[in-house]
Amino acid sequence: MLRIIAGIVAGLFAWVVVATVGNRVLRAAWPGYAVVEVAMNFTLAMLLTRLLLGALSSLCAGFFAAWIAKGNRVAVMVLAGLLLVAFIPVHYTLWERFPVWYHLTFLVSLVAVTMLGAMMYSRYVGPMRARGQGKRYGPK
């Protein structure tokens, strides 16, 4: 049970860190982005970039949750549900500022891409660890 909770917390933490660092990189690398961010008058390219950043954040969150929880699906499903519950009110308040497709894409991706991140762990890292190939130090 402790691993499940730790996985959920790690996933949430990973989502926030990736999103925050990514947003700071966007501001620094794309001067026009920083200018329109306060007013939220994003261009189509900016909206798509924000969706990509959200997807990357969700992918990392799902991966880290699965890693910490040793591939436990409950941890990842709870994480995806918490992300969705956290962002529905945010997008409700911003509903008129962005196109409907943006909101729907973001909200659906929170669940789908978080699960994909966990599947990446289960598919690639989990089996390596089970065979003893994932260990970095020490004898087999």
- The answer to the question of residue 10 being in a domain is yes
pLDDT at 138: 34
* 63-106: pLDDT as tens digits: 999 999 999 999 999 999 999 999 999 999 999 999 999 999 99
Q: Is residue 26 scored above 90 in pLDDT?
A: yes
> pLDDT-based confidence at 129, cuts 50/70/90?
low
Written as six digits, the tokens of 65 are 């949750």
- The answer to the question of residue 138 being in a domain is no
State mean pLDDT over 120-132: 70
The DSSP-derived string for 78-109 is HHHHHHHHHHHHHHHHTTTTS-HHHHHHHHHH
- The answer to the question of residue 140 being in a domain is no
What total of structural domains would you count in the chain?
A: 1
- Give the range of the structural domain holding residue 102, as residue numbers without chain letter: 2-130
pTM: 0.87
- The answer to the question of residue 45 being in a domain is yes
Judged by average pLDDT, the poorest of 1-5, 24-28, 124-128 is 124-128
- The answer to the question of residue 136 being in a domain is no
